[in-house]
C-alpha cells in the first residue's frame, strides 16, 4: 500500500528518533559516558532551587491546562459548520466581573512567584558562613578550571575535592569565583545553580553535598572555541577520603632519580613558564599546577583520560584533543616526550 504524502514527514520523524536512539544507546552503555541531572539535587541550595522550579512549573502547568482547555472548547464548540449564515455572527462582550477576575488572578500569581523566588534567593545568597566551612577559590581560564584552597595551601585543576556534609557534621564549602580572562560560568547541576565568573567582579556560591560520589559539571557560558570541553569534576569525599586527599596534596612532588632525564627536559623547556610543580623550579601560573597530576582522572579539563598514551599525544599536539587549546606543541622528539611522560607519571 502506498503511503499518502502527508504520512511521509511522520515516517521521517520516526526514523530520525529511532536513529538517534540507536546512536545514543552505545554511549549510555559506555562507562566513560557521564551526565548531570538537575532533578537530583544533593545540596541545600540545589534542593531549594529544585523545589522552587517544581512550584513554578506546577502553577504554570495548571494555567496551561486551563487556558488550553478553554481554547480547545471554544474552537470546537464555535467551529464553522455547514449551513451557518455567511454574515458576521452576533458580537458578545464579556462582563466586567470576568475581566476583573482574569486581571487580578494573574497579578496574584505573579506576586506569589516573585515573593517565593526572592525568599529562596535571599536564603541562598545570605547564608551565614560557619567557622568550620571550607573555602575554595575557583578561577576560570580558557579553557580549564583552577581550584585553590588558601587555608590548606593546596592548588589543583579541573577536579575539585570537597568534604561530605551531614546533619551530624555539617561541612559546607564556600566558593569564591574569579575569572582570569573572559566570562565563564560554574555549573554542577546536582550541587547548585549556575553562577558566572566575571573578570574583576568576584562572585560567590556555596554547597553542602550530602551524598558522597563524583558530580559532573560544565562551563555554562560560551567562553571561546573550546568552551564545550571545559568540564568540571567535583569529588565529594567521606571524612577518611578527604583527610587522605588533603594529606597527599600537601606533599611536594616526588623526586624519582629514575626519571631525571624527563625532569630535566621539563625544567629546561617552556613548560615551567606555564606550569608549577611544587619542590621544583617550575613556578608558572598560566597553566594547571602539575604537582599531583596523576591523582586526577582526566587531562585537558576532562577531554581525555589521564593515561601515559594520552599524555604523550597531548604533549605532542594538544590540538588532537582540544582544537583551539592555548597550550602549544612543544616540538619535542618522541624520545623527549617519552622521557617527560615518564616524569609526569611519577607526580602522584
Distance CA 164, CA 212 (A): 6
Q: Which fold has domain 257-344?
A: Immunoglobulin-like (2.60.40)
Domain ranges of the chain: 27-71+97-249, 257-344
Q: How far apart are the first and last CA of the chain?
A: 67
Q: Checking DSSP bridges between strand 184-187 and strand 195-197, what pairing results, if any?
A: antiparallel
Q: Which secondary structure element, helix H or strand E, spans residue 161, and what is its range?
A: strand 159-163
Rounded Cα gap, residues 343 and 333, in angstroms: 15
pTM for the whole thing?
Answer: 0.83
Which of 127, 169, 176, 170 is closest to 151 using CA atoms?
A: 176
What is the CATH number assigned to the segment(s) 27-71+97-249? 2.60.40.420
| pLDDT tens across the length of the chain (348 residues) | 333 444 455 455 545 554 554 444 444 444 444 567 888 999 999 999 999 999 999 999 999 999 999 999 989 988 888 877 777 777 777 778 888 888 999 999 999 999 999 999 999 999 999 988 999 999 999 999 999 999 999 999 999 999 999 988 899 999 999 999 999 999 999 999 999 999 999 999 999 999 999 999 999 999 998 898 999 999 999 999 999 999 999 998 888 899 999 999 999 999 999 999 998 989 999 999 999 999 999 999 999 999 999 999 999 999 888 888 899 998 999 999 999 999 999 998
One fold for both 27-71+97-249 and 257-344? Answer: yes
What burial class does residue 12 get, using C-beta atoms within 10 Å of its C-beta: 0-12 exposed, 13-18 middle, 19+ buried? exposed
Amino acid at each position: 500500500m502506498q503511503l499518502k504524502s502527508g504520512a511521509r514527514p511522520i515516517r521521517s520523524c520516526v526514523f530520525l528518533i529511532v536513529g538517534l536512539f540507536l546512536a545514543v544507546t552505545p554511549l549510555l552503555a559506555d562507562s566513560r559516558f557521564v551526565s548531570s541531572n538537575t532533578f537530583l539535587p544533593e545540596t541545600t541550595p540545589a534542593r531549594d532551587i529544585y523545589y522552587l522550579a517544581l512550584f513554578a512549573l506546577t502553577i504554570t502547568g495548571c494555567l496551561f491546562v486551563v487556558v488550553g482547555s478553554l481554547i480547545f472548547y471554544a474552537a470546537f464548540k464555535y467551529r464553522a459548520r455547514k449551513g451557518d449564515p455567511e454574515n458576521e455572527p452576533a458580537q458578545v462582550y464579556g462582563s466586567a466581573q470576568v475581566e476583573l477576575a482574569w486581571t487580578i488572578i494573574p497579578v496574584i500569581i505573579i506576586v506569589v512567584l516573585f515573593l517565593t523566588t526572592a525568599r529562596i534567593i535571599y536564603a541562598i545568597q545570605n547564608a551565614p558562613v560557619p567557622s568550620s566551612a571550607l573555602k575554595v577559590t575557583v578561577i576560570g581560564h580558557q579553557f580549564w578550571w583552577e581550584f585553590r584552597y588558601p587555608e590548606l595551601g593546596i592548588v589543583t585543576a579541573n577536579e575539585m575535592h570537597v568534604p561530605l556534609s551531614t546533619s551530624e557534621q555539617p561541612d559546607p564549602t564556600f566558593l569564591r569565583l574569579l575569572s582570569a580572562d573572559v566570562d565563564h560560568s560554574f555549573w554542577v547541576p546536582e550541587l547548585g545553580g549556575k553562577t558566572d565568573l566575571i573578570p574583576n567582579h568576584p562572585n560567590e556560591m556555596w554547597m553542602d553535598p550530602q551524598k558522597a560520589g563524583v558530580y559532573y559539571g560544565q562551563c555554562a557560558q560560551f567562553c571561546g572555541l573550546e568552551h564545550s570541553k571545559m568540564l568540571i569534576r567535583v569529588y565529594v569525599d567521606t571524612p577518611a577520603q578527604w583527610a587522605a586527599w588533603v594529606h597527599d596534596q600537601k606533599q611536594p612532588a616526588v623526586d624519582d632519580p629514575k626519571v631525571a632525564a624527563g625532569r630535566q627536559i621539563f625544567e629546561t623547556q617552556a613548560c615551567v613558564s606555564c606550569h608549577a610543580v611544587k619542590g621544583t623550579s617550575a613556578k608558572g601560573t598560566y597553566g594547571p599546577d602539575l604537582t599531583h597530576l596523576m591523582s586526577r582522572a582526566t587531562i585537558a579539563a576532562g577531554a581525555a583520560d589521564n593515561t601515559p598514551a594520552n599524555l604523550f599525544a597531548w604533549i605532542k599536539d594538544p590540538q588532537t584533543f582540544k582544537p583551539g587549546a592555548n597550550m602549544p606543541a612543544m616540538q619535542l622528539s618522541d624520545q623527549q616526550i617519552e622521557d617527560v611522560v615518564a616524569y609526569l607519571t611519577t607526580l602522584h
